[in-house]
Amino acid sequence: MDMEKNTGKRPSPWVSAIPLVVLTALLYAVIRAFGGDAINGGSQIALLSATSVCVMLSIGIYRCRWSVLEESIIDNIRASASAILILLLIGAIAGTWMVSGVVPTLIYYGLQVLHPSFFLVASCAICAVVSLMTGSSWTTIATIGVALMGIGRAMGFPEGWVAGAIISGAYFGDKLSLLSDTTVLASSTVGVNVFTHIRYMLYTTVPSMAIALGAFTVAGLTLDHGSATLVESYAGALASTFHISPWLLLVPLATGILIARKLPAIVTLFCAVVFACVAMLAAQPDLVVQVAGGGQLDAMTGFRGVLTTCFGPTAVSTGTPQLDELVATRGMAGMLNTVWLIICAMCFGGVMTGSGMLRSLTEIFLRWVRRTFSAVASTVGAGIFFNLCTADQYISIILSGRLFRDLYAERGLEPRLLSRSVEDSATVCSVLVPWNSCGMTQATVLGVSTFVYLPYCIFNIVSPLMSLLVAAVGWKIQKAK
């Protein structure tokens, strides 16, 4: 439901752009004022302020009823409920997998196996394979990505490069996986067989990934990283603080089996928390007591320590300040600012949609569609635009697909070209927007600001450009039968 259906009025594009201009200006000021702490409240106020501007314009100028806007906000928040639950469970995983010794074990063995010169390209490839098998970039980043982030920091790599390699690989696998919800959503929205959709994406996705792997290979060979002595000291500190055992790897292995059996993400992540809690009590009883506040290990102390690890901050002393920061976690409580930000972003996206302002702005893209290249360019631009406005990749995929579906048919363009263009923009670029649910989540999970890792997400940056290049050349682009 939107305002035009109720009032018969369509907002002017110039008026519709005002909330976006206000949001951009406020976010710029907040980031300049608070820096990395912008997510702690400033960005949320900016989103709510822009939302109020949109509401005032809709009611004051176009006589839109508040009930219409409220219903649109509720629909948006309802759609993000599962993402919020997943985010909270990821916070619990971060705490339990760390204190149980799962992540320290992965870091310890990774320091022994991965050569620093090829760490970045190996991280990208590992995340690509895991994400391809699981179909989830979020799960990949929250599990193996967190471990690789720890290894990269221990090796002395800039955190932006490490996060960029992890995100690039995770989104490559997510994009081509048959198990990926975004892949299925993009193909079904446009009406393309999912296998046809995946095969057609190879023409843009594989070259983009090849460029990313090349960039990470060169970066790994040229960047300064920690010495072998520093790596050995970190490994020794981990071994002396945690009980390192290959048996702890059963936790990620069991989680991988659940993912392979296609269980819902919420169920899988909850089971991963339970597995880690059991491993924590069995392998790290001393740390459980330390987290609980001291005393002797009994039923109540163990219960308090396990729950604290799930929902609250934990700090384990390793004797090395840099390593202490690495193994410190925030649990579910550390995700609350991100949840707050997602809710505020959904409010803004809901009001922009319910007022009809978003629709008015998107019709500008349709005026530029004349030929194949302009159609693809408009689709890519719309996907990025929707990520900025709605702050959610799922909404961006649906809006982009629906907006251009009939137009592609009128121009005689294949629907698989539309579904690929939507994925090349709305899916992979969502993580590059600081106030998008994907950007907020990955910045929180990896502990790296979106603006810090953005320049190093090579695959995510190259993908929309590759889509434009392939469209300009006309490679494997045919008219619809």
Mean pLDDT throughout 92-107? 84
The pLDDT value recorded for residue 179 is 60
pLDDT at 453: 94
Q: Which of 74-83, 191-200, 305-314, 329-338 has the highest mean predicted lDDT (pLDDT)? A: 305-314
Mean of all residue pLDDT scores within the chain:
82
Cα-to-chain-centroid distance, residue 180:
13
**Residues in Cβ contact with 468 at an 8 Å cutoff, skipping those fewer than 6 apart:** 373, 376, 377, 380
Contact 15, 419 (CB under 8 A): no
In this predicted model, what pLDDT tens digit does every residue of 55-93 receive, in sequence order?
999 998 888 888 889 998 888 788 777 778 877 887 888
**What ranges do the domains of the chain cover?**
82-334
Lowest average pLDDT, out of 171-180, 225-234, 268-277, 358-367, goes to 225-234
Tokens describing residue 296: 């002797």
Give the torsion through C-alpha atoms of 207, 427, 218, 155, to 10 deg.
-150
Range of lowest pLDDT (222-236, 263-277, 304-318): 222-236
Predicted local distance difference test score (pLDDT) of residue 133: 64
Segment of 14-18, 47-51, 112-116, 462-466 carrying the highest mean pLDDT: 462-466
Number of residues in the chain: 481
Q: Mean pLDDT across the stretch 455-470? A: 95
Residue 97 pLDDT exceeds 90: no
DSSP state of 225: -
Other C-beta atoms within 10 Å of 33: how many?
A: 10
Q: In a 10 Å sphere around its CB, with 0-12 CB exposed, 13-18 middle and 19+ buried, how is residue 297 labelled?
A: middle
Least confident of 88-97, 241-250, 278-287, 376-385: 88-97
Backbone angles phi, psi at 314, to 5 degrees: -130, 145
Is pLDDT above 70 for 225? no
pLDDT in tens, 129-178: 778 766 678 877 877 788 788 888 878 889 999 999 999 999 998 888 76
**Whole-prediction pTM value?**
0.69
Mean per-residue pLDDT, 402-411: 76
Distance CA(31)–CA(27), nearest Å, equals 6
Q: State whether the Cα torsion 460-399-84-37 is positive or negative.
A: positive
Q: Is the dihedral of CA 383, 387, 393, 397 positive or negative?
A: negative
Three-state DSSP at 319 gives: coil
pLDDT band for position 348 (cuts 50, 70, 90): confident
Higher pLDDT, 166 or 301: 166
Residue 191 DSSP label? T
Q: Who wins on pLDDT, 112 or 165?
A: 165
